[in-house]
Structure 1
Amino acid sequence: MSNYCVMICDHYKAYYKEELLMNEITTLLTCMHPLLDANTYRHFLIISQALLMMTGRITMLSISRWTEKGGSYRTVQRFFSKNIPLSNNHVLANSNNARIGNPILQPGPYDGGRYPRDLIARLSRYVSIRFGGSSNYVDAAIAEGQFHDLDRQIYWIGYVKGVRAVRVGEIVQKTGRTTNYTTGRVTAINATVNVNYGGSRVARMVRQIITTNMSAGGDSGSLLCDLNENAVGLLFAGSSRVTIHNDIRYVQRLLGIRVV
């Protein structure tokens, strides 16, 4: 039956390609529902969501692991089959201390979120942060949620158009939980910094993007974009003088995701 579902879905993809709209799919599935058993209907729904994600983009909202303070996230694609909120390891995975499957809330508990009422996803994967002198490229994690619970548009920025390498001197933008929409200027693109994660844990981060200060606590996980709405970095740390971002290309590679 699953092969039949794929064949039918490919048939509609050939006709509509990347212009499938949710209301068209919903109408189609509603009409077909009386003719399908529950398992087949579920397969159609999953495949339809995967096709829609091929045209998807990215967004932000306040989010956190259910016991932690808030952060920000973006919805990205992984193998065109799941809805994936992207944020930092220290936001979603509590700096290596969470378990896969832990609940993710939006808004986060710090902003009044409660479990299970505000559950939108569960921790799926994170890149471990290595403390004690080893080099790290990213502080990043992803979760998996339901299609209808996640949005792909960045407030005040819009839909992300692609991914690119940023240059020193460029003006960049982000929208985050705490400072909302801000802009900054790139001052370095290959920086090595030591970041204090508390509890005497210090991580050496390499190949980092440095900008002028454009964030505050709670903005971690914000997607850094150029002024043409291309993703260039993932915000994860900062001070009163600078903000530090992972290069989005390393985030994609190490998490096995695609930001488009």
Structure 2
Amino acid sequence: MQMRNQLKDSLKTPEEERYSGKITRHDHFDDLTDIDNALNKVHEHLAVEERHRYTASCFGHLFRMDRGMKFSAGIVHRLLIRELHHDGPEDEMRFLLGRHSVRFSKGRDEVEYAELKAVLRIGVFSEQYDTVKLCLLYMLNWILIGLVEREKVPVWQFRLVEDLDAIDAFSWGAHVYRRFIYDFKHALDGRRKRFEQRQRRKGVDVHTTETYNIYGLTHALLIFAFEVIPELGNSGCGKRREIELSPRILKWDLSM
């Protein structure tokens, strides 16, 4: 009991200040079909080679993700609102679940993003592997990092993607993780204060739920919740039969 009380004192959002939240996510897993469609539009004599080059790339394993995966904003919000202050590494998060503290950590000239997205969807490519290169940039920025359309695709990424071996060798896991762990840790910053301000302005009965954005791989938090809270993992979802799939996000079927 004493340990739980100590942990409760470390909550970033005290229990008495919890509030309902509605998340707008930006990891865009629904748009994996854009990559499917782009690869399907490649000239027939190049299609097999292009698809293999993509599936064998640094992001190719994510191409095997369940296309029907559903997102539960309620679970992610209830997880975030239980985040704890801690003295551990900056690139990890800890949450109070029941009596236990659980840790979320890693295992490890510009173009507007809207233009990249439009080109991918049109699907007219003249040079070999152009489809692969754009699909890699699309997976990285739109689906894994969650850029909004007004943001720029960095020039260094265009230069790096010209060498497919170099982009495969780049430490994308660490790069993406640094981006989304920062977004997760700051998702609720100042949110309680804004919630109370809007309640005073609109009325307590009118403003009952606070809406906020989360960027980055939000499905990673959702899968984390399913794995550390067994009761969640036994309802409305299941594990795929291909048990050798890695990373763990590939093992879950949330379409049920």
Interval containing the TM-score (normalised by the shorter chain): under 0.3
> Higher helix fraction: Structure 1 or Structure 2?
2
Greater relative CO (CA pairs within 8 A, separation 6+):
2
TM-score by length of 1: 0.23
Greater Rg by CA:
2
When the two structures are superposed, what TM-score results if normalisation uses the length of structure 2? Answer: 0.23
Larger fraction in strand: 1
